[in-house]
Amino acid sequence: MRRRFQWLLVGAIFLACIVYLDIPSVVRTLESVPPLWLVSLLVLMTIDRILMAWKWTGLLRALHIQIPFRTVIGYYYQGNLAGVFLPTGLGGDLLRAHLVSRRYGHTPQIFASLFMEKIIGFVSAVSWAAIGALVIAWYRFGDMKSLWIGLALGGVMVVGVAFLGSLHPRVVDRVLLAVTSGPRGRIKTFVHRLIKAYAQFGQCRHVLILNGMLTILEHGLQLVVYVVMAKSLGIHMAVIPFIAITALFLLLYRLPISPDGWGVGEVAAIGLYGIIDISPENAFAMAFLGHVLQTLVVLPGLWFIYRSVIFQPSLPMEKSP
C-alpha cells in the first residue's frame, strides 16, 4: 500500500509539473546537452559509486570482515540498482547487506557497518547543508551574519555530538540493558548482537575519521557533478551560491519520501534553485537529468546480479579470513 501511494505521489507531482511548466522548453534544454558532457557526468558518477564501495569496505574491515574490494563493488552495484526501483534507497542497502551476510556470514557486523555508513553519511550531508544554508543566508540576510553562523555551527555540533555519544560505553551499556530486559527472542538477540557490533567502532576511531573525511569528499564530488550538469544544460549561475543550494537540495533529495527521490527531487529543485534565479524549467531539467543519469550509472548492477549468489542458491557460505 505504501509503495503504491509513493508511486501515485510521483505521478501526481509530474502531472502538476507538466501543467505548470513549459515542457517544450524543458525538452529543448535536455536535447542541447552535448554527448561528451553526458559521458563526463557518467564517469564522475561512476567514481562516486566506487568511492562509496571503498568506504564500506573500510567499515567492514574495521569489524574484521575481509572481503575483496571487487566483490564489494559488485554487491554495491546490485544494491544501487535495486534502490532505483524500491520505495526508498534503504531497500537497496538492505539487499547488499543481505547478499554479503549470506555469502560471508557475520550478519550483525555487516548490518552494523551499514548502520554506521548511514550515520556518517547523514552527518556529512547535514554538515554540507548547514554550510550551504549559511552561505545562502549570508547572501540574502547579510545583516544577521552572527545568527546564521551560530545556527549553522550549532546544527553541525548537535549532530556530531549525538553521533559520538552513540559510541560512548555508558550509552551502549544502557541501550544493551534496555534491549536485554524482559523475555528474550530471536529479534532481541539479533539486536543485542547488532549493538555490540556497532559498539566495536568505538575502538577504531581512526577508521571513522578516515571514513568521515572520505564521505565529505564523496559528497563534495556530488556537488561537482551538479555544477558540471548545470553547465552541460547551459544554465548560467554563480558557482558558490549554486553549490550552497545544491547542498540543501541533496539533503532533501536523500529523504526517503519517494522511490529514488523521483518527483520530490524535481519539486525541491524548482523551489530551491529559484532562490538563485534559476528558472523552474531549468531546475526541473537538471533534477530530471540527474535521475536519468543515476539510473544509467547503476546498470552494471544487471551484470553483477546475473553473476550473483541470487542465481546460485546452492553456493556454500564463505567465511571471511
DSSP labels, 154-182: HHHHHHHHHHHHTTSHHHHHHHHHHHHSS
Is residue 78 within 8 Å of residue 96, measured between CB atoms? yes
The reported pTM is: 0.84
Q: With pLDDT > 70 as the criterion, what percentage of the chain qualifies? A: 85
Cell of 307: 553473476
Report which of 233, 219, 224, 231 is spatially closest to residue 284, judged by C-alpha positions. 233
pLDDT tens across 108-135, in order?
899 999 989 999 998 899 889 988 888 8
Q: What is the pLDDT of residue 243?
A: 95
Average pLDDT, the chain: 83
The full length of the chain comes to 321
Q: What is the pLDDT of residue 102?
A: 81
Is residue 274 within 8 Å of residue 280, measured between CB atoms? yes
Helices (H), the chain: 2-20, 23-31, 35-62, 69-85, 89-104, 107-140, 145-165, 169-180, 186-199, 205-232, 239-253, 264-273, 280-297, 301-307
Is residue 31 within 8 Å of residue 222, measured between CB atoms? no
Q: What is the pLDDT of residue 146?
A: 65
Location of C-alpha cell 513549459: 22
**What is the rounded CA–CA span in Å between residue 20 and residue 128?**
31
Cell of 199: 559498539
pLDDT tens across 42-99, in order?
999 999 999 999 999 999 999 988 888 988 998 888 888 887 766 555 667 888 888 8
Gap between the terminal Cα atoms of the chain:
43
Question: Residue 276 is which amino acid?
Answer: I
| CA 255 remoteness from chain centre | 9
Is residue 33 within 8 Å of residue 286, measured between CB atoms? no
Cell of 275: 532562490
**What is the rounded CA–CA span in Å between residue 205 and residue 226?**
32
pLDDT tens across 174-202, in order?
877 777 676 667 777 888 888 888 888 88
Cell of 255: 529523504
Cell of 64: 574484521
